[in-house]
């Protein structure tokens, strides 16, 4: 059984139902989707691609994205999703490392000929039309069923963002992703066949993976006409089709909330456009989620995971976010919630000994969503997987009820004058200062202190910020040693395609300046 069987099942049960949309236009029923993916699979096999081989997908969000993923799985191939923002040289490095011979690309992100490939298919070309053309009608009978693979076989070779050194290929199996999909129903949200997921965030990442639970439920999947995040378009799309679910990094949530506030929309209006917004992938600050709930109402669920255990670590459920009467409501809002159903989670010291509630250590995860290891990298695999536990590199603490609060990535921790400082804590405080829109705190090397705290601050439109006022704000709220020694006022923060602030780029700027 593989992920391809999920599509076969829907194509048998509901061949005529709408499955895929591009904007408001239907691009495939379940029958058509399966027939195209099966036809693609047959042609890939005829072209000499064998089960287990890797196929790169280097595309912006596109109506054919899911047909290609499922075509590859139907043929028993391993998909290598590539972030559409990567430089061609980075993609070529991945092609070489993954030993991939074929790639599906969109012309806007890929140069005409990436090195190392036998075939590069532009999904908007006649060649792609021919590969995906289903036999007359859309009868599945003309095509073979999915290639049988073991659930332990690889489905998804996901290259991590690699903030230090080369990216690593995270090996995820059909079982990993099947478990991830089923977990959604218990820990994130119920999905009905009339539901809609919109893929506005990059499909090479979490949003694309959420295609799996939505296919399991026979729901519709929409790629916005723009292919990306345009808040006005998304609100309108929801009004036209019915309330949408989506996965969004906190920066995207912020843009949706800003739009709703600027357009004077009520939470009822927001409910007409959005059913559920799952957020995660980077820290959501307390001030931001409080505002999001106020402006858009209770349509949020948080997840914490990482490429190595995709979308599954903890979840902060809708009812936890809504439970304002709970005595520890604010702490919970600032947490990432409790362990999701298929995993155990603990916080440990550097020797792997579990720490009691309240103590800070590294977050360890064990369960069926955890990767099989890093591709052709036994050394890194042995470092991340120890005694069956995934060492996430995230630092946090559990409370007595099992809620996990993240402090930072272990490498983002800053040590100033011998004291540990978690940038996240300082960021949370600065975000409550009037006029502050965004902030990122990093350490700068310092002869006297080892490191000093530096805050990069983006002002709200029209706001006038000054360092003295921010310093006074911090002095009222956190220990003196934690407050920034330096403020840098900037127009925007550098972010990757997934909305994560690139702290390495900020540290680099500081090094260059000194």
161/504 with CB nearer ligand AMP: 161
Dmax of the chain from CA atoms?
75
Min dist CB 29 to ligand AMP, Å, is 32
Min dist CB 161 to ligand AMP, Å, is 5
CA–CA gap between residue 171 and residue 157 (Å, rounded): 5
Q: Kind of pairing, strands 78-81 and 54-58? A: parallel
217/406 with CB nearer ligand AMP: 406
Min dist CB 409 to ligand AMP, Å, is 5
41/321 with CB nearer ligand AMP: 321
Nearest Cα neighbor of 107 from 90, 120, 93, 94 is 120
Min dist CB 480 to ligand AMP, Å, is 26
CA–CA gap between residue 205 and residue 187 (Å, rounded): 19
36/424 with CB nearer ligand AMP: 424
DSSP structural state of residue 186: I
24/420 with CB nearer ligand AMP: 420
Which chain residues interact with ligand AMP by CB under 6 A? 160-161, 280-283, 302, 304, 306-307, 336, 392, 394, 406, 409
208/280 with CB nearer ligand AMP: 280
Based on DSSP, count helices (H) and strands (E) in the chain, helices before strands: 18, 26
DSSP states of 17-72 as a string? SEEEEETTEEEEEHHHHHHHHHHHHHHHHHTTPPTT-EEEEE--S-TTHHHHHHHH
Min dist CB 259 to ligand AMP, Å, is 22
406/474 with CB nearer ligand AMP: 406
Min dist CB 210 to ligand AMP, Å, is 13
- Provide the strand spans (E) within 239-384: 244-248, 274-279, 300-306, 309-316, 338-339, 343-348, 361-367, 373-374
Min dist CB 283 to ligand AMP, Å, is 4
Q: Say how many residues make up the chain.
A: 514
207/265 with CB nearer ligand AMP: 207
CA–CA gap between residue 502 and residue 381 (Å, rounded): 24
Contact between residue 45 and residue 11 where contact means Cβ atoms under 8 Å apart: no
Min dist CB 481 to ligand AMP, Å, is 24
CA–CA gap between residue 198 and residue 141 (Å, rounded): 30
Helix/strand/coil percent split, the chain, to 5: 35, 25, 40
């Amino acid at each position: 059984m593989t992920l391809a069987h999920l599509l076969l099942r829907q194509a048998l049960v509901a061949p005529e139902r709408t499955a895929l949309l591009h904007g408001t236009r239907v691009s495939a029923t379940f029958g058509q989707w399966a027939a195209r993916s099966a036809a693609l699979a047959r042609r890939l096999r005829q072209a000499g691609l064998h089960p287990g081989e890797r196929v790169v997908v280097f595309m912006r969000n596109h109506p054919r994205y899911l047909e290609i993923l499922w075509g590859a799985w139907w043929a028993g191939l391993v998909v290598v999703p590539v972030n559409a923002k990567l430089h061609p040289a980075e993609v070529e490095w991945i092609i070489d490392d993954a030993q991939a011979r074929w790639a599906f690309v969109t012309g806007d992100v890929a140069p005409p000929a990436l090195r190392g490939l036998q075939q590069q298919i532009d999904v908007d070309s006649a060649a792609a039309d021919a590969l995906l053309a289903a036999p007359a009608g859309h009868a599945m009978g003309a095509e073979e069923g999915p290639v049988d693979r073991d659930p332990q076989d690889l489905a998804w070779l996901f290259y991590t963002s690699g903030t230090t050194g080369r990216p690593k290929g995270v090996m995820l199996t059909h079982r990993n992703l099947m478990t991830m999909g089923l977990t959604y129903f218990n820990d994130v949200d119920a999905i009905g066949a009339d539901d809609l997921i919109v893929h506005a965030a990059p499909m090479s990442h979490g949003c694309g993976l959420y295609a799996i639970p939505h296919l399991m439920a026979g729901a519709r999947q929409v790629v916005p006409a723009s292919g990306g995040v345009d808040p006005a378009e998304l609100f309108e799309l929801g009004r036209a089709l019915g309330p949408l679910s989506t996965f969004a990094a906190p920066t995207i949530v912020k843009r949706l909330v800003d739009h709703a506030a600027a357009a004077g929309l009520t939470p009822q209006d927001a409910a007409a456009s959005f059913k559920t917004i799952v957020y995660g992938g980077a820290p959501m600050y307390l001030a931001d989620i409080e505002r999001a709930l106020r402006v858009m109402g209770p349509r949020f669920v948080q997840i914490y995971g990482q490429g190595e255990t995709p979308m599954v670590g903890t979840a902060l459920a809708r009812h936890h976010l809504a439970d304002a009467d709970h005595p520890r409501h604010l702490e919970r809002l600032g947490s990432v919630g409790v362990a999701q159903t298929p995993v155990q989670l603990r916080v440990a010291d550097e020797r792997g000994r579990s720490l009691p509630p309240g103590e800070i250590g590294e977050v360890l995860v064990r369960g069926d969503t955890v990767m099989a290891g890093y591709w052709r990298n036994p050394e890194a695999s042995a470092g991340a997987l120890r005694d069956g536990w995934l060492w996430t590199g995230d630092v946090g603490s559990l409370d007595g009820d099992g809620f996990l609060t993240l402090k930072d990535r272990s490498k983002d921790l800053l040590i100033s004058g011998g004291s540990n400082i978690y940038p996240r804590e300082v960021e949370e405080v600065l975000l409550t200062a009037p006029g502050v829109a965004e902030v990122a705190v990093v350490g700068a090397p310092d002869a006297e202190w080892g490191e000093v705290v530096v805050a990069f601050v983006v002002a709200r439109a029209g706001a006038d910020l000054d360092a003295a006022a921010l310093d006074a704000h911090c002095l009222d709220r956190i220990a003196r040693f934690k407050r920034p020694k330096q403020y840098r006022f900037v127009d925007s923060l550098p972010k990757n395609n997934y909305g994560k602030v690139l702290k390495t780029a900020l540290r680099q700027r500081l090094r260059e300046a000194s």
